[in-house]
């Protein structure tokens, strides 16, 4: 399976890239498993990827951790932001 992953804001800065193509195998791929895989591969952003407040979109639609992924899906990660 191949997915395009896009990072935004602080995640982009810490990952050192705005996007990457991830090739991985899983019998039941979902957003949560992808987050775990990426956190293990990229310690600099692991805490943000595993945070419950992380916003995720699959093909430009907000998605939950259990959202099933298909080959070719685009997954975007948005860290929580604060402001006043």
Task: Tell me the domain boundaries of the chain.
Answer: 2-78
pLDDT confidence tier of residue 82, bands split at 50, 70 and 90: low
Place of tokens 């070719």: 72
Domain over 2-78 is classified CATH 3.90.870.10: no
Contact of 35 with 65, CB cutoff 8 Å:
yes
Residue-wise pLDDT for 45-80, tens only, equals 999 999 999 999 999 999 999 999 999 999 999 998
pTM of the model: 0.93
């Amino acid at each position: 399976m191949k997915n395009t992953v896009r990072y935004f804001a602080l995640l982009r800065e810490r990952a050192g890239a705005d996007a990457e193509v991830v090739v991985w195998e899983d019998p039941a791929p979902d957003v949560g498993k992808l987050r775990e895989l990426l956190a293990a591969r990229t310690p600099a952003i692991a805490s943000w990827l595993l945070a419950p407040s992380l916003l995720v979109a699959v093909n430009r639609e907000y998605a939950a951790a259990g959202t099933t992924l298909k080959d070719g899906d685009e997954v975007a990660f948005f860290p929580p932001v604060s402001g006043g």
